[in-house]
Structure 1
C-alpha cells in the first residue's frame, strides 16, 4: 500500500493561495472562470490532507490562523481603501456590495476549510470558521465606518421626512448589516444606530411641533401628527428593524403629543371644547386615537368632555328655569309643559353624548364615567320648584296616559321609556321618583287613563332591571289589582242578576284594591245621600259572601258619578265626583242652602267644601247660584240650584280644582326614608356590634345610596332616636362609639 506523500505547509498554502486569489478575482469582477467541482474537491482535499498528517506535519492550527489572515489581508488591501474613497450614499452602496461579497467569501472559504470546523475547532472549542470570517469584517471594516454609515443613514431618513425620494432598499440593506454583525444579538443595531436615530427623531419632531403648535388649529395639528405616526410606522415596515417600532412611535408621540397635550387640548378656537361644541365627530375620534396612545393621555380629554356635558346640561336647566318663570309672569296655564320639553331635551343630550362615547371614544370606561358624573351633576338639580324625580315621573305619565301631549308610535314610546329609565340611574332620589310615579300610575289605572297595558308593564320591567324587584313590587301589585277588580265587578253583576230582590237602584261599579300596594288616600266619613247608602250596603253584602276577613274602606274622593240634571231648557248628564254628586243631591230636598248647612250635612272639612262649591258655582259651569256673586267661597255664602243653566253639550264633565299632591308625596317619602335609615343602622350595628360614628354614617350612606342619598343630619337624628328607643347606646369613654343592644 502506497504511503501518502507529506505536504509541507508552504507548498500546501501556495496551492490554497491560488484558489483564494481566484475567489477574490471573481468577487472583484475580474475575468476568471467559475470554480469547477474538481477545483473545489482539490482545495478541500488539500486542507484535509494537511490536517490529517502525523505530527509535526499536522498544520491545523497554522491553517486556522491563515484562514483569518486571508480575510484580514483582503480587507486591508482592497475593501477598506475602496470604502475610504467614497462618501454618503456612494459609501453606503459600496458597503452593501462589500458586505455581500464578504459573506460569499466566508461561505466559500469555510467550505474549503470545512475539515477544520468538523474536527479541529470542535475539539478545541474555538470560534467556528463562519464566525471568524464575519468577525474580521466587524473588527476591521464595521468598527471603522459605522459612525459615518449611521450619520449617512440618519441624514437620508431626515431627507425622506422632508418629502424627498430616497432609496429605501439601500437603507434596508445597510441596516441589515447592523443586525447581522451582531450574529444573533441586537446590541450593534441598538447602540450604534438606533439610539442616535431615536435622538435625531426626537429633535426633528420637537422642531416641527414647536412651529405647528403656533401656526395650526388643533384639528390640523392632529392630522399632521397622525400622518407622521403613520409614516414612521411605514418606515419600520420598509427598512428599520421591527423592534424599533414601539420606541420610534413613543418618541414621536412624546414630542408631538405629550409635550403639547395641554396646549393642544386647550387651544381657544379649535381645542377639545370647541370640537365638542361644534360636533366635530371625526376630529374627536382622531383625538381619542392619538391621546389613547400616550400615558394618561385620555385623562384631560375625558375631564374636558365631562365639563362640556355638565355645562350643556346646566344650560338646559337654566333655560327651563327661565321659561318656567316667564310662564308664571304671563300667568299662562301651561302646566308642566316646559318641564316636559326639558326632560325631552335631557334625553336628546344623553343620546348625543352616549353616541360620542360609543363612536368617538371607542366605548372607553373613562368616558362612560365622565358622562355619568356629568349627568349626575345637573340631573339632580330641580326645575321651577320640581325635583328631577317628579319631572321624570310626570314625563312618563304624559307618555303613558290617553291624550298625553306626546303623540308617539309604539316603538318610539318603548324607546323613550328605555331612555327615561337610563336617566333615572343618574338621579339620587329614586325613591321620590317611585312615589310620584306610583301616584300617577294610580290615577291612570283608576280613571282608565292608561293608553296601553303593554307599555305600563314594559316600563315596570325596565325599572325592575334598573332598580331591583323591591322598587316595583307595589306598582306591579297595582296593575294586577285592577285585573282582579274587573273580575270582581263581573262577579258582582252576576250576583245582582241572580238575586233579583237585591238591587242598588242605580248602576254601580266598584273597584276593590289592596291597601298595601296603593298610595294612601284620605277616607272621610262623608255623609252619603240615601241613594248612595243603599249601593254601599248592597255591595258590602255581596263582598261578605266572598270573604269574611277583609275590611272594606271606601275612598269616596276617588269616585265619579253620572247624574241627570233637570234644568228648565233641557235635561243634561253631569259627570261629577262623588263629593260633588252628594252636594248636588242635597238640592233635591232644599231649594236654598247655606255654606254651613252643606258642610254639616256632608260632614266634610272646610277645604273640601270650598273646593267642591267653587267647582259648582264659580267655575266654567255654574250649576249652583251663589249669593253674594263673588269669585271666592266664604262661610257666609248661600247657594241655590240654577234651573236656568244650559250648555250646547248634552253631557258635561265638571272638574274639581286639582289638589297639589307634591307636599303629600314628599312627606310620605320622608317618612319612608326615616324607616329605611333606621333599618339600615340597625342592620349594620347588628352585624358589627360596636362601631364609630363616622364609619356608621359611611356604611349607612353606602347601603342606602341605590335608592336615595341620605342626609348626614338625618342619619345623626335617627341614631339619636334609636338610642332613646334602646336599640343602641353610646360608649361611656368615647361618645363617638356606639354599641348595639340586642
Structure 2
C-alpha cells in the first residue's frame, strides 16, 4: 500500500513489516490495542496480488484488553490542539530508513449519550433523523485510512459496506480483524468506526525502526474531521489523497449553515412543547429530542430567535391565561388561586429551563441577559403580580389577614407564607419586590395600629400592666414574623412595636403616679422592676438611662434626707452610717434581682452614694466611729460572721470617700483606744480590717496601723521585765498594780502637747518608778504620759444610805431601780474606769460633795473629757451610776454649778463593774477644726513629696501636666485642689527644689 499515492520506483513482492504494539486511550477509558504495520505493495495498479497466508499481517482492534508492557497515553488534547497535531504529523525520509513520529494516533470510543446532536441537515420533513451508516456521517464517525495509489480505488459500496462491517465488528464483538483480499472490488485498507475524526499512522522513532532496503519514500497521513475542516486548501489536500470520499465530506460534514425552513420547523416543535408543558401535557414529549433541537438552534447562531421566542410564548401564556384566571378570582379564593398559579409557573419554568440548558450556558452568558428561569420570574412578576389590580388585592389581602390575627381570629398561615416566599423569589436575589409590595405597607400599618393601641393602654392600665401587655405584643409579632414572614422582617416589626409602645412613652411609663419606677422602688416591687428593665433594655442604653435617671433622682433625694437629719442632730454617727448601709443594701437588692447587675445601674448607684456621702464633711469621722463601735467588745451580741459582713459593707462606703486621709487619722485614734483600753473584740478582726484598708489604699496607708500592733507586743515584753525588776529590787508600788504601754510617737495619735491632768499620788509614784527603770535601760529616750488613753481598776467600798439622807435628792436612784431595797451593809466592787474617771472618783475620798468647777480645778482635766467622764458616772445606766448629780436644770447638759456626790445606794449583782463611756457624738467644732488643721499639714507634706518624686523622674515639666500627675498619684487618699498644689510648688521653688524655666515661666525644672 502506497501511503502517499506516488508510484514506487521498483516493482516487487509485497513485504510486511510489523512493529511493536502501542496502547491508545479512549474517551470512555477503554483501551484500544493497535498492532502497527507497514504494508508495501507492488506499484502495478492493473492487477492485485495476494499475500501469502504466512505473510499476512493482522491488525487487531481489541477494546478493553490491555497488552503487557504498554504505557498509557496522555488524554486526548483539546480540538484546537488536535488540529495543530494533524498539521505537524508527517513522514520523513532520511537515507534508506523510514522515520515515524513518536506520537500515536488516538482512537476514542464515546458513550452515545455524550455525542453531539445530529445537525439539522440530517432531518427529514417530519423532523426525524435519517437512519444511515456511512463513512463520515455524524451518526457513526469513522476512522478512515485510505490509499490514493494505482490499481484500483474504494468504491461507495465497498466504503459503505466496510464501514458497516467494521462498526458491527467493533461495537458488537469488540474485536475486528482486517486483512488483504484478492476480491476484485476490494483494496488493502482499514475502515474503523470510531469518533468523528480520520486518523493516520505516524512514523515510529529511530530506536524502534530497523533499516529498510527499499527506496526512500515519504509517508504522510491526513487526520481529517468533517466537523473540523480548516478551509478549502485542506479540502483539496484531502481530495488529492482520498478522492473517492470527498463528495461524502462535502455533502454532509461541512454544511455548517441552517436553512430557515429547518429553523422554523425546529422552533415550531419547541414552541409546541413549551405550550404543552404550560398546559401540564408533557407526558408525551421527548425531552432528549427537544434538547437536541434547542442545542442546534444555538449552535447555528439562532439563539436570539429561540430566546425571544421563548419570552413571547411565556409572556402570552401569563397574560392571556394565568392573569385572567387570577383576576376572575379576585374577590373569592384569591390568595389560593394566586399561589397555585405561582406553583404551576415555577414547575413549568424548571422543565423549560432543562430543555434550554445549552442556551443558558452559551447564548445567555455571551449576551449577558437573564437566564431562562429568571426570565420566567421577571415575566410572572410584571404580567401577574405587578398588575395593578392584582398587586393591590394581594397587598390588601395580606395586610387584612395579619390584622385579623391581631384581633384574635384564625387565619391560613400557609397561604401567607407562600405568598411572601413568592414575593421574595420574584426579587431575584433581592428583597425589592417583597419590600415594596408587602413589607413597607405592613410596617406602616403596624405603626399606625400600635400608635393607637399605646394610647388606650396608657389610659386604661397602670405601669405594671402596661409593661406586661407590651411584652405580650412583642412576643406575638416576633412569633408571627418567624412563622410566615421573611426572616429579615422580624427585627423590623419588633423595632416598630418598640418605637410605638416603648420609646415614645418612656417618661410617662417610668414616672407614672402610684405605679411608676419610684413607686416600685418604694414598695419593693422587684418583679415589676425586672419587667420594666427587661422591656426598656430593648432600647439599649437609651431606654435604660431613663430608668437609671429616675432611680438616681430618688436615691439622691433619700441620701440628702439622711445627711440633713444628721445635721439637725436627729441621729448619732452610728445611726447615720447604719442608715447609709441599709439604703445601700436595699438598692443592691434591686441591682441584683431587678437590673441583672447592669453596668449602667451599678455606676449610677455608686455615683449617687459618693455624692451624698461626701456632702457631709463629717462622714470620714462617722465611718470610723461606726467601725470602732462594731470592733469593740460586747458589740451588741453579734456573731463573728455578722461582724465580718458589716466590715465588708463598710468598706464599700469607704471607697466612696474622697478624703480618705481624714478617715485614716480618725481610725488611728479609735484603734489606739481599742488597743490601749483592751476593748477590741479580737486581734484577728483588727488585723483583717487593716488588711482590707491595705488592699484599698496601699501599704503606706496602713504602715502606722501595723506599727501600733508591733508596739503592743513590745510593751508586753517590757512589762515582764519591769515586774522582775520590782521583785529583784524589793520596790513598793504603794498598792498600785501598774501596766504601761510604750508607744512610738510616729505611729500613735498622741498629742504634741501633754494634756494637763493631775494624777493622784499613788499612781504617780508607781509611774515614776517605771520611768526610772525604762530610761536607765533605753538612754536618750523620753517618756510622756498620755492620760486620755489610760484605764484603771479601782477597789470601791459602799457603806449604804443613811436614814437622814433618804429624802435628800430626788434624782438619786430609787431602791426599786435594781429590784431590791436600799442596802445598809457594806459592799465592795472593782470598778473598771478610764484614767480621767479614776481621778474624779478618788477626789471623793476626801470630800463628800464637789461641784463641776471644783472637780475641774482639782484634776485639770480638759473640759470635754471631764464632761464625758461625769456623764458616764452620773447619767449612764442606772446600774452604773456611781455618782449622784444635783442640778437645778433637768437637761442632760452639765452646768458649772452642778453638784456631785457618791451614790451610797449603788447596787450591782456583779463584783466587777465596767463603767461604759457615753457614746461619742463626734468631735466638737473646735476639735474638728484642730483635726482639719493637722490633716492639712499632713497633706502639704504628701503633695510636696509627690511633686518631688515626679520632677525627679521627669526633670522638666509644664505646670498643667505636673498638676494632673500629682492629682492622679494622690487621688487614692484625697483630691488636692489645683490651687493647693500650686502653693506647694511655690514653696518648693522658694526652698530651691524647683526653678522656673527662663524660656517659659509655666515650665518647671528640677534642681538636684
Report the TM-score when normalising by structure 2: 0.61
The partner residue of 1:39 within 282, 286, 296 is 286
In the alignment, the residues of structure 2 paired with residue 118 and residue 652 of structure 1 have an alpha-carbon distance, to the nearest angstrom, of 110
| Structure 2 residues without counterparts, runs of 5 or longer | 1-132, 139-251, 253-257, 800-825, 876-880, 887-893
Would the alpha carbon gap of residues 535 and 165 (structure 1) be closer, same or farther in structure 2, given more than 3 Å must change?
A: same
Aligned to 1:518: 748
Aligned to 1:344: 578
Which structure 2 residues correspond to residues 315-464 of structure 1 after superposition, within 5 A? 315-318=561-564, 324-325=569-570, 338-382=572-616, 387-404=618-635, 406-464=636-694
2:702 aligned with 1:472: yes
8 A contact 2:271–2:310 mirrored in 1? no
Aligned to 2:94: none
Q: Structure 1 residue 724: deviation in Å?
A: 7.8
8 A contact 2:758–2:859 mirrored in 1? yes
Would the alpha carbon gap of residues 368 and 572 (structure 1) be closer, same or farther in structure 2, given more than 3 Å must change?
A: closer
In the alignment, the residues of structure 1 paired with residue 468 and residue 865 of structure 2 have an alpha-carbon distance, to the nearest angstrom, of 74
The partner residue of 2:927 within 664, 668, 675 is 664
Aligned to 2:380: 137
| Range 162-171 or range 208-217, more displaced | 208-217
Aligned to 2:973: 707
In the alignment, the residues of structure 1 paired with residue 416 and residue 827 of structure 2 have an alpha-carbon distance, to the nearest angstrom, of 107
Q: Structure 1 residue 391: deviation in Å?
A: 2.5
2:425 aligned with 1:180: yes
8 A contact 1:435–1:669 mirrored in 2? no
Would the alpha carbon gap of residues 300 and 681 (structure 1) be closer, same or farther in structure 2, given more than 3 Å must change?
A: farther
Aligned to 1:270: 515
Which structure 2 residues correspond to residues 241-320 of structure 1 after superposition, within 5 A? 241-294=486-539, 296-318=542-564
Would the alpha carbon gap of residues 700 and 86 (structure 1) be closer, same or farther in structure 2, given more than 3 Å must change?
A: same
In the alignment, the residues of structure 2 paired with residue 454 and residue 395 of structure 1 have an alpha-carbon distance, to the nearest angstrom, of 18
In the alignment, the residues of structure 2 paired with residue 80 and residue 166 of structure 1 have an alpha-carbon distance, to the nearest angstrom, of 25
In the alignment, the residues of structure 2 paired with residue 458 and residue 269 of structure 1 have an alpha-carbon distance, to the nearest angstrom, of 46
Q: Structure 1 residue 624: deviation in Å?
A: 14
8 A contact 2:790–2:834 mirrored in 1? yes
8 A contact 2:291–2:356 mirrored in 1? yes
Q: Structure 1 residue 305: deviation in Å?
A: 0.6
In the alignment, the residues of structure 2 paired with residue 616 and residue 306 of structure 1 have an alpha-carbon distance, to the nearest angstrom, of 43
Would the alpha carbon gap of residues 85 and 490 (structure 1) be closer, same or farther in structure 2, given more than 3 Å must change?
A: farther
The partner residue of 1:225 within 470, 475, 478 is 470
Report the TM-score when normalising by structure 1: 0.80
Structure 1 residues 513-562: Cα deviation after superposition (integer angstroms, max 9, x where no partner)? 22211111453586766755664455345545764454333324433444
Q: Structure 1 residue 412: deviation in Å?
A: 1.4
In the alignment, the residues of structure 1 paired with residue 871 and residue 601 of structure 2 have an alpha-carbon distance, to the nearest angstrom, of 54
Number of aligned residues: 702
2:717 aligned with 1:487: yes
In the alignment, the residues of structure 1 paired with residue 480 and residue 906 of structure 2 have an alpha-carbon distance, to the nearest angstrom, of 89
Would the alpha carbon gap of residues 657 and 66 (structure 1) be closer, same or farther in structure 2, given more than 3 Å must change?
A: closer
Q: Structure 1 residue 421: deviation in Å?
A: 1.3
8 A contact 1:50–1:60 mirrored in 2? yes
In the alignment, the residues of structure 1 paired with residue 709 and residue 383 of structure 2 have an alpha-carbon distance, to the nearest angstrom, of 94
8 A contact 1:429–1:707 mirrored in 2? yes
Structure 1 residues 665-686: Cα deviation after superposition (integer angstroms, max 9, x where no partner)? 5513332224414643785597
8 A contact 2:647–2:689 mirrored in 1? yes
Structure 1 residues 243-276: Cα deviation after superposition (integer angstroms, max 9, x where no partner)? 2233322222222222222233332232232222
Which structure 2 residues correspond to residues 44-59 of structure 1 after superposition, within 5 A? 44-52=291-299, 59=302
In the alignment, the residues of structure 2 paired with residue 431 and residue 269 of structure 1 have an alpha-carbon distance, to the nearest angstrom, of 44
* More helix, by proportion: 1
8 A contact 1:526–1:602 mirrored in 2? no
Aligned to 2:29: none
Which structure 2 residues correspond to residues 480-629 of structure 1 after superposition, within 5 A? 480-493=710-723, 499=728, 501=730, 504=733, 506-521=736-751, 523=754, 532=763, 535-536=766-767, 538-540=769-771, 542-543=773-774, 547-548=778-779, 550-564=781-795, 569=826, 573=830, 575=832, 577=834, 604=860, 620-621=881-882
Would the alpha carbon gap of residues 141 and 465 (structure 1) be closer, same or farther in structure 2, given more than 3 Å must change?
A: same
The partner residue of 2:391 within 128, 146, 170 is 146
Structure 1 residues 396-445: Cα deviation after superposition (integer angstroms, max 9, x where no partner)? 222111123x3222111111111111122233333333222222221111
2:339 aligned with 1:85: no
8 A contact 1:562–1:575 mirrored in 2? yes
Q: Structure 1 residue 450: deviation in Å?
A: 0.9
SS at match of 1:508: coil
Q: Structure 1 residue 140: deviation in Å?
A: 1.8
Would the alpha carbon gap of residues 610 and 373 (structure 1) be closer, same or farther in structure 2, given more than 3 Å must change?
A: closer
SS at match of 2:591: helix
Which structure 2 residues correspond to residues 608-687 of structure 1 after superposition, within 5 A? 620-621=881-882, 648=907, 661-662=923-924, 663-664=926-927, 666-677=929-940, 679-680=942-943, 683=946, 687=951
In the alignment, the residues of structure 1 paired with residue 288 and residue 860 of structure 2 have an alpha-carbon distance, to the nearest angstrom, of 129
Structure 1 residues 629-686: Cα deviation after superposition (integer angstroms, max 9, x where no partner)? xx97789x9x9x99x9685566566788899755435513332224414643785597
Q: Structure 1 residue 704: deviation in Å?
A: 5.0
Would the alpha carbon gap of residues 672 and 622 (structure 1) be closer, same or farther in structure 2, given more than 3 Å must change?
A: closer
In the alignment, the residues of structure 2 paired with residue 221 and residue 615 of structure 1 have an alpha-carbon distance, to the nearest angstrom, of 60
Aligned to 1:12: 266
In the alignment, the residues of structure 2 paired with residue 482 and residue 233 of structure 1 have an alpha-carbon distance, to the nearest angstrom, of 71
8 A contact 1:88–1:152 mirrored in 2? no
Structure 1 residues 582-628: Cα deviation after superposition (integer angstroms, max 9, x where no partner)? 7888999x999999xx9999895685997799799989546999xxx
SS at match of 2:739: coil
8 A contact 2:757–2:861 mirrored in 1? no
In the alignment, the residues of structure 2 paired with residue 21 and residue 606 of structure 1 have an alpha-carbon distance, to the nearest angstrom, of 119
Would the alpha carbon gap of residues 726 and 603 (structure 1) be closer, same or farther in structure 2, given more than 3 Å must change?
A: farther
In the alignment, the residues of structure 2 paired with residue 172 and residue 141 of structure 1 have an alpha-carbon distance, to the nearest angstrom, of 18
Q: Structure 1 residue 454: deviation in Å?
A: 2.0
In the alignment, the residues of structure 1 paired with residue 529 and residue 361 of structure 2 have an alpha-carbon distance, to the nearest angstrom, of 65
Q: Structure 1 residue 491: deviation in Å?
A: 4.2
In the alignment, the residues of structure 2 paired with residue 465 and residue 666 of structure 1 have an alpha-carbon distance, to the nearest angstrom, of 30
Q: Structure 1 residue 309: deviation in Å?
A: 1.0
In the alignment, the residues of structure 1 paired with residue 650 and residue 918 of structure 2 have an alpha-carbon distance, to the nearest angstrom, of 30
Q: Structure 1 residue 713: deviation in Å?
A: 8.1
Structure 1 residues 346-380: Cα deviation after superposition (integer angstroms, max 9, x where no partner)? 21211111222233223233222321232234323
SS at match of 1:294: helix
Would the alpha carbon gap of residues 610 and 351 (structure 1) be closer, same or farther in structure 2, given more than 3 Å must change?
A: closer
Q: Structure 1 residue 232: deviation in Å?
A: 1.7
In the alignment, the residues of structure 2 paired with residue 624 and residue 106 of structure 1 have an alpha-carbon distance, to the nearest angstrom, of 113
Structure 1 residues 75-127: Cα deviation after superposition (integer angstroms, max 9, x where no partner)? 12211111111226732222221111111111111112223234444444443
Would the alpha carbon gap of residues 491 and 232 (structure 1) be closer, same or farther in structure 2, given more than 3 Å must change?
A: farther
Q: Structure 1 residue 301: deviation in Å?
A: 1.8
Structure 1 residues 687-734: Cα deviation after superposition (integer angstroms, max 9, x where no partner)? 497877x99988877765543455788778878877887889999999
Would the alpha carbon gap of residues 74 and 544 (structure 1) be closer, same or farther in structure 2, given more than 3 Å must change?
A: same
In the alignment, the residues of structure 2 paired with residue 15 and residue 393 of structure 1 have an alpha-carbon distance, to the nearest angstrom, of 103
Would the alpha carbon gap of residues 110 and 709 (structure 1) be closer, same or farther in structure 2, given more than 3 Å must change?
A: closer
Aligned to 2:447: 202
Instruction: Give 1 or 2 for the bigger CA radius of gyration.
Output: 2
